[in-house]
């Protein structure tokens, strides 16, 4: 099995790459290593994979830790490099986890989302179609549910009222993938991630910002006066879900009656257990042993009130069951944070 993972220096991409490489699966990993957040954290993730990059010269690099891992610095928007990458490799499966993330950032930097999330994804679709890829698995987001208030969110719910351009770009990915599945028989699966957290996570996410504030004795902004709910999902559970899809798809690729062989599928992948923002902050205060200074703020533009994943279809088709409760997950993250930042 040979797999392409895009966004491999990112949070989810790093963890998935590591998990598959530990099992001896051949992986080509790519990332543009943009500066949306701390580039040093991205280089540190790659170093954990045995990829050591001179920041000024990052060509084709083979891992010093995993024999079957090769990294290439490629931006999805570069269609010529993407075409060349696919033509030189016979990928069985593509996991597209590269994207411009961030709901609030999309308010002030809309063009970035069109370039990366629309044009970049189109390049992946085109290359996958032309190369007869067995299965394209791609990252969507719980944000596609937007202003929908039917809880828990089901893939059967409408998702046509995005509250941000980021959400709109992810919904566009789903529609684009559907059209390629319909037109060309490309097997695609979109995963709507629900607030992923854990070690090596994204510094722009609330759990990261709140933990940082606790140790630095700085203040945090608490939006909608704390009246928000999120379905926090631990990174290992996310990776286990993706891995299950990859393996079932590969093993059953010739069985057209199998769920993994349907041309286009969408799944929620979450913890199925929303927690209030204030309870979440209290947990971080308890774990760090620090009281966090809070500045209450109104609802932010682009935010949604609550996320809550109905994961029944993913459980039925792939046996997905989240294993990590929020307290345990935050404790593991806290220990990683203290080690990495030498707190």
Asked if 315 and 241 touch (Cβ cutoff 8 Å), the reply is no
Residue 172 included in any domain = yes
Residue 202 included in any domain = no
Asked if 142 and 130 touch (Cβ cutoff 8 Å), the reply is no
Share of the chain above pLDDT 70, in %: 93
Q: Which residues contact 336 (CB under 8 A, 6 or more apart)?
A: 198, 199, 200
Per-residue confidence at 60, pLDDT binned at 50, 70, 90?
confident
Q: How far apart are CA 275 and CA 112, in angstroms?
A: 31
The CATH number covering residue 66 comes to 3.40.50.720
Alpha helices in 24-144 (DSSP H): 39-48, 79-88, 105-108, 110-113, 120-130
Asked if 164 and 103 touch (Cβ cutoff 8 Å), the reply is yes
Partners of 6 in the beta sheet?
30, 96
Residue 251 included in any domain = yes
Q: How far apart are CA 281 and CA 206, in angstroms?
A: 9
Residue 175 included in any domain = yes
Cis peptide before 218 (omega within 30 of 0): no
Number of compact structural domains in the chain = 1
pLDDT tens, residue by residue, 253-295:
544 445 445 689 999 999 999 999 999 999 999 999 999 999 9
Tokens 């941000």, residue located: 164
Structural domain including 171 reads: 2-194+234-270+308-323
Residue 275 included in any domain = no
Residue 134 included in any domain = yes
Distance, first Cα to last Cα, the chain:
41
Output the CA angle 93-97-102, nearest 5 degrees. 165
What pLDDT, on the 0 to 100 scale, is given for residue 253? 55
Average pLDDT over residues 104-122: 82
pLDDT tens, residue by residue, 67-99:
999 999 999 999 999 999 999 999 999 999 998
Residue 296 included in any domain = no
Residue 44's Cα: distance from chain center in Å?
18
What pLDDT, on the 0 to 100 scale, is given for residue 111? 79
Largest CA distance in the chain: 57
pLDDT tens, residue by residue, 160-213:
888 888 889 999 999 999 999 999 999 999 999 999 999 999 999 999 999 999
What's the Cα-to-Cα distance from 108 to each of 143, 144, 166, 169, 244, rounded to whole Å? 17, 19, 11, 15, 37
Residue 241 included in any domain = yes
Q: How far apart are CA 177 and CA 138, in angstroms?
A: 9
List residues with catalytic annotation. Answer: 166
Partners of 191 in the beta sheet?
139, 267
Q: How far apart are CA 217 and CA 50, in angstroms?
A: 35
Residue 254's Cα: distance from chain center in Å?
28
pLDDT tens, residue by residue, 206-254:
999 999 999 999 999 999 999 999 999 999 999 999 999 999 886 655 4
Evaluate if residue 310 carries a pLDDT over 60: yes
What's the pTM value of the predicted model, to 2 decimals?
0.93
């Amino acid at each position: 099995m040979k797999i392409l993972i895009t966004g491999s220096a990112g949070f989810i991409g790093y963890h998935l790459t590591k998990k598959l490489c530990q099992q001896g699966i051949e992986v080509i990993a790519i990332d543009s290593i943009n500066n949306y957040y701390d580039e040093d954290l991205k280089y540190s993730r790659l170093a954990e994979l045995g990829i050591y990059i001179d920041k000024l010269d990052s060509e084709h690099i083979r891992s010093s830790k995993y024999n079957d891992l090769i990294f290439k610095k490629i931006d999805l928007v570069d269609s010529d490099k993407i075409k060349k990458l696919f033509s030189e490799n016979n990928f069985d499966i593509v996991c597209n986890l590269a994207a411009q993330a961030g709901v609030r950032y999309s308010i002030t930097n809309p063009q970035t989302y069109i370039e990366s999330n629309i044009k970049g994804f189109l390049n992946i679709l085109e290359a996958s179609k032309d190369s007869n890829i067995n299965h394209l698995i791609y990252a969507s987001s719980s944000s596609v549910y937007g202003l929908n208030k039917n809880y828990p969110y089901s893939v059967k719910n409408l998702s046509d009222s995005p509250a941000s351009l980021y959400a709109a770009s992810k919904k566009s990915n789903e529609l684009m993938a559907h059209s390629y599945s319909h037109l060309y028989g490309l097997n695609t699966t979109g995963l709507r991630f629900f607030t992923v957290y854990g070690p090596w996570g994204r510094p722009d996410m609330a759990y990261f910002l709140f933990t940082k504030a606790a140790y630095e004795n700085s203040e945090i902004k608490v939006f909608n006066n704390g009246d928000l709910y999120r379905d926090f999902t631990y990174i290992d559970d996310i990776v286990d879900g993706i891995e299950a899809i990859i393996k079932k798809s590969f093993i059953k690729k010739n069985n057209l009656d199998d769920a993994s062989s349907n041309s286009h599928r969408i799944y929620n992948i979450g913890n199925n257990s929303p927690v209030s923002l204030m309870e979440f902050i209290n947990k971080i205060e308890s774990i760090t042993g620090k009281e966090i200074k809070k500045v209450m703020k109104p609802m932010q533009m682009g935010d949604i009130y609550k996320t809550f994943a109905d994961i029944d279809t993913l459980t039925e088709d792939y046996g997905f069951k989240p294993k990590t409760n929020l307290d345990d997950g935050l404790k593991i993250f806290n220990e990683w944070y203290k080690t990495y930042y030498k707190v």
